[in-house]
Amino acid sequence: MSRSRPTGDADRDLPAEQSVLAARPDLGGGAATSSFALPPGAGPGLPGPPAPLALGARILAWGERTYIMGIVNVTRDSFSGDGLLQTGDPVAAAVAQARRMVADGADILDVGGASSRPGHAPLSAEEETARVAPVVRAVAAALPGVPISVDTTSPSVAAAALDAGAHLLNDVWGVADDLVMARVAAQYGAPIVLMHNRGEPRYRSLLPEVVADLWRALERAMGAGVPWDHLIVDPGIGFGKTPDHNLALLAGLSELRVLGRPVLLGTSRKSTLGKVLDLPSDQRVEATAATTVLGIAAGAADIVRVHDVRENARAARMADAVVRGWRPDGWSGGSR
C-alpha cells in the first residue's frame, strides 16, 4: 500500500497560545520559566466541594452525611412489586407510605408515576400527571418541610409536580441531547438529577463514557440556565447497562468524583443484585444495603434512592460514622 507524504498545504491549523506568562530569567527561580495564567473571566477549573443545597425547607450539606431518598411508586407495573395503584386509594396509600418512610429515616421522598424498568409499557403524560400530581400535593400537605422529588422523563409532568409542591426533578434520561427538562428546572429554579442512560448497552470503555456523557449533560443543563449548584448526577445503575456493566460501575464509583457534583446512587432491589444472589426483588434488602455502603466508601453516594428506608438508613449512618466522621446528636463516644 502506497503512502502519500503530507504537503505544506496540509499543515494543521492549531490554536494560538494565549494568556502566557513570559519567562523572567532576571528574577530567577520559578519565574525564569514561562507558564500559563488564567485568562480574564475564566474560572479556576478546579471545583471545590459542592455547596450546600436548599431543597424546600431543608439544607443538604453535602459530605456531612448521606441523605436517604424513599421511593414512592404510584404505578401498577413497578419491577419491585410496590406499585400503589394496586391499592384502592393510591393517594391515601402514598401518604401513609411517605409517613412511614420519614419515620424510618427518609430525608427526601421520590414520587414516580411511570415505570422505567427495561421493557416498560409507555404511559401518556396526561395519565402520568393524573397519578403523580395528586400524590405530590397530598404528601406536601401531610409532611410540610419534607423535600419531594418527582421521577419523570416528561417535562409537562415535571412542571405539574413542581406546581403541586415538588422541589426536585429526577430525570432518568438526564443525558438526552434535548434541553426541555433542563429548561423546566431553570424556569422553576428547581434542582435536577441528571441520570446516565443509553438506549442499548453498547460501550467501548464504560467508565470514561459514563463520565463523559454526564459531563456533557451538566454542560447542557447549565447552558439551559440551571445553576451549577442545582445539579446532581446519577450513574444510572441498571439503565442501558448489562449486569456486568453495573458491577463494573459500582466498582468504579469513585471516578464520578471528577465531575465535582453530588452523586445520587440508585441500586435498590435492581435486577443485577438479584442475578448475583439469585433472589427475587423483595429479598434484595441486604444486597441493596451493601451497595449503599460501597457507594459511601467510594465517596460517590451523597443520596441513596431506596425502597427499604430503615435498613438502608441504618447502613448509611454506620458507614457515615466511619467514612465521613458523622456522629449522632448527643454522642458520647469519649466515655465508657
CATH of the domain at 303: 3.20.20.20
Which pTM was predicted? 0.92
Domain for residue 29, yes or no?
A: no
User: Would you state the pLDDT for residue 15?
Assistant: 93
Indicate whether 48 belongs to any domain.
no
- Residue 101 counted as domain residue: yes
Query: What are the grid coordinates assigned to 208, written together?
Result: 470514561
- Tell me which of 137, 241, 269, 305 is the catalytic residue: 305
- In-domain check, residue 130: yes
What is the residue-level pLDDT of the chain in tens, covering all 336 positions? 677 777 766 688 899 999 999 999 999 999 999 999 999 999 899 988 999 999 999 999 999 999 999 999 998 755 445 556 565 788 999 999 999 999 999 999 999 998 776 666 788 999 999 999 999 999 999 999 999 999 999 999 999 999 999 999 999 999 999 999 999 999 999 999 999 999 999 999 999 999 999 999 999 999 999 999 999 999 999 999 999 999 999 999 999 999 999 999 999 999 999 999 999 999 999 999 999 999 999 999 999 999 999 999 999 999 999 999 999 999 988 766
Q: Among this protein's residues, is 305 annotated catalytic?
A: yes
Q: What is the pLDDT of residue 157?
A: 98
CA distance 273 to 285: 10
> Cα–Cα distances in Å, from 228 out to 26, 55, 187, 193?
43, 15, 15, 12
Give residue 116's pLDDT: 73
Domain assignment present for 53? no
Quick check: is 233 in a domain?
yes
Catalytic residue among 269, 270, 324, 336: 270
The number of domains in the chain is 1
140 occurs within a structural domain: yes
* SS3 label, residue 20: strand
- The answer to whether residue 169 sits within a structural domain is yes
Burial of 201 (0-12, 13-18, 19+ CB in 10 A): middle
Beta pairing class for 168-171 and 192-195? parallel
Alpha helices, DSSP H only, in 241-284?
243-251, 271-277
Which range marks the domain in which residue 195 is found? 64-323
Percent composition of the chain: helix, strand, coil (DSSP 3-state, to 5): 40, 15, 45
Helices (H), the chain: 90-104, 125-142, 155-164, 180-188, 206-223, 243-251, 271-277, 285-297, 309-323
